[in-house]
């Protein structure tokens, strides 16, 4: 008697896709190799596309930003040529593979052709209240795609600008001096290449690294500082390299009369007294006096640092140390635009956005728009 379960003539249910494909994908050694190689094909094509765009001169002379000791990268520095354009091709390659890595909207120029270099400094190790500013660079780049490249305020478009987005630096967040040294080297190399370094913080201490580089190249440097806090402490809990002491450390470099502070509404009495004694050009509470100093700074090299907590917390709650009584968005935008349009800005930064402190995303949107307007105003 025929066992129907073993008979080849008994009709059975159709083969599954898995059973059908098993004819071609048997667990053999060759099939294993194919499975291993297939996912690498698009990656190899991406590398080929990147390498194809690199001029032959890049291998023979230093035509971009020096790698070693200046800018960290996701690739091994020992095997990379010492020029930023090659590094940029590698960054482009990784962006093709990892869609979460992106530029600020409209900042798609190559390093060689760029006038402005945008870079992030993800550091918040000396934050005294609410940490999280190290995430600002990523959040700003991601949310910038909620904006347009065109600004109706200035009738300018980022697509007409030449801006290179370097991405975030890789910083040793446990060592403040090492972090500042890395930022300093980055800013110095960008300045030597006759480009404008535009940094996205991070806490406010990151400004010190860029100012060190700028002051070395421009001995007559001035600083315009917008902030809710004086940042003029000699130290904070015994630490001199603190976001609460960053402008005091800048004063150590520049001296009296070359730091212009606006919007300040918080600090120790000793800080206010020290500033009012003539060490800084001190204009607390508002930005009303800012247009008045522009004529006297005309033609002088100026570093522009914007701590976004100068804004009122009702407009910008996403910051580590919110301080009520600040300016509104349009007032800040008007003033930063005027400064960037009118003066010889040789470097600048926007800092103290803390995305985890504002889950609505409103603060990040504000930061994106301020950065966009500054970038457009810096276009000469």
Task: State phi, psi for 277 to the nearest 5 degrees.
Answer: -75, 0
* pLDDT single digits (tens) 132-166: 999 999 999 999 999 999 999 999 999 999 999 99
Tokens 């919110």, located at residue? 322
Greater model confidence, 238 or 360: 360
140 and 364 in contact (C-beta within 8 Å)?
Answer: yes
Q: What's the confidence (pLDDT) of residue 3?
A: 52
Q: Write the DSSP symbol of residue 71.
A: -
The answer to whether the CB of 216 falls within 8 A of the CB of 208 is: no
Question: Distance (Å, rounded) from C-alpha 299 to C-alpha 291?
Answer: 15
Could you tell me the pTM of the whole model? 0.76
Render pLDDT for 3-49 as a digit per residue (tens, 0 to 9). 555 544 444 445 454 444 444 444 444 545 555 566 667 666 655 65
Tell me the C-alpha distance between 128 and 308, whole Å: 16
**Is the model's pLDDT at 99 over the cut of 50?**
no
Residue 48 is predicted with a pLDDT of 64
3-state secondary structure of 115: coil
Domains of the chain, CATH where assigned: 29-100 (no CATH), 102-378 (3.40.800.10)
Strands 301-307 and 222-226: parallel
Residue length of the chain: 380
Mean pLDDT, residues 187-200 taken together:
97
- Condensed to tens digits (0 to 9), the pLDDT of residues 322-332 reads 999 999 999 99
pLDDT digits 0-9 by tens, 329-376: 999 999 999 999 999 999 999 999 999 999 999 999 999 999 999 999
What's the rounded Cα separation, in Å, for the pair 110 and 115? 10
The conformational region for residue 237 under phi > 0 = left, psi -120 to 50 = alpha, else beta, is: left
Cα-only R_g, the chain: 26
CB-based contact 214:347 (threshold 8 Å): yes
- Please state the rounded mean pLDDT for residues 56-80: 40
Question: Left if phi > 0, otherwise alpha if psi is -120 to 50, otherwise beta: which for 35?
Answer: alpha
* Structure token pair of residue 185: 């080297």
C-alpha to C-alpha distance for 70 and 62, rounded to whole angstroms? 14
């Amino acid at each position: 008697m025929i066992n129907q379960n073993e008979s080849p003539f008994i009709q059975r249910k159709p083969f599954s896709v898995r059973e059908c494909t098993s004819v071609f994908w048997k667990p053999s050694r060759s099939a294993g190799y194919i499975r291993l190689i297939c996912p690498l094909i698009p990656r190899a094509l991406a590398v080929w596309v990147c390498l194809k765009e690199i001029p032959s001169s890049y291998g023979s002379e230093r035509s971009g930003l020096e790698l070693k000791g200046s800018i960290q990268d996701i690739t091994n520095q020992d095997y990379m040529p010492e020029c930023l354009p090659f590094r940029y091709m590698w960054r482009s390659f990784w962006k093709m593979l990892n869609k979460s890595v992106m530029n600020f909207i409209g900042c798609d120029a190559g390093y060689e052709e760029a006038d402005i270099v945008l870079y992030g400094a993800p550091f918040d190790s000396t934050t005294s209240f609410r940490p999280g500013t190290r995430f600002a660079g990523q959040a700003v780049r991601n949310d910038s795609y909620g904006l347009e490249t065109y600004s109706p305020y200035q009738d300018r478009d980022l697509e007409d600008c030449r801006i290179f987005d370097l991405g975030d630096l890789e910083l040793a967040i446990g060592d403040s001096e090492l972090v500042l040294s890395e930022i300093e080297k980055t800013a110095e190399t960008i300045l030597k290449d006759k480009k404008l370094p535009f940094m996205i913080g991070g806490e406010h201490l990151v400004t010190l690294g860029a100012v060190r580089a700028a002051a070395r190249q421009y001995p007559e440097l001035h600083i315009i500082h917008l902030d809710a806090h004086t940042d003029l402490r000699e130290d904070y809990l015994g630490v001199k390299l603190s976001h609460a002491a960053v402008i005091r450390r800048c004063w150590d470099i520049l001296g009296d009369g070359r730091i212009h502070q606006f919007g300040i509404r918080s600090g120790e009495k000793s800080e206010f007294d020290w500033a009012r004694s003539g060490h800084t050009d001190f204009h607390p509470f508002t930005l009303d006096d800012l247009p008045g100093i522009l004529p006297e700074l005309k033609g002088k090299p100026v570093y522009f640092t914007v701590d976004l907590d100068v804004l009122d917390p009702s407009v910008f709650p996403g910051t580590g140390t919110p301080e009520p009584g600040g300016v509104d968005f349009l007032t800040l935008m008007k003033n930063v635009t005027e400064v960037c349009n009118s003066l010889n800005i040789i470097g600048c930064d926007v800092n103290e956005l803390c995305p985890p402190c504002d889950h609505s995303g409103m603060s990040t949107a504000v930061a994106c728009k301020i950065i966009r307007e500054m970038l457009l105003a810096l276009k000469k």
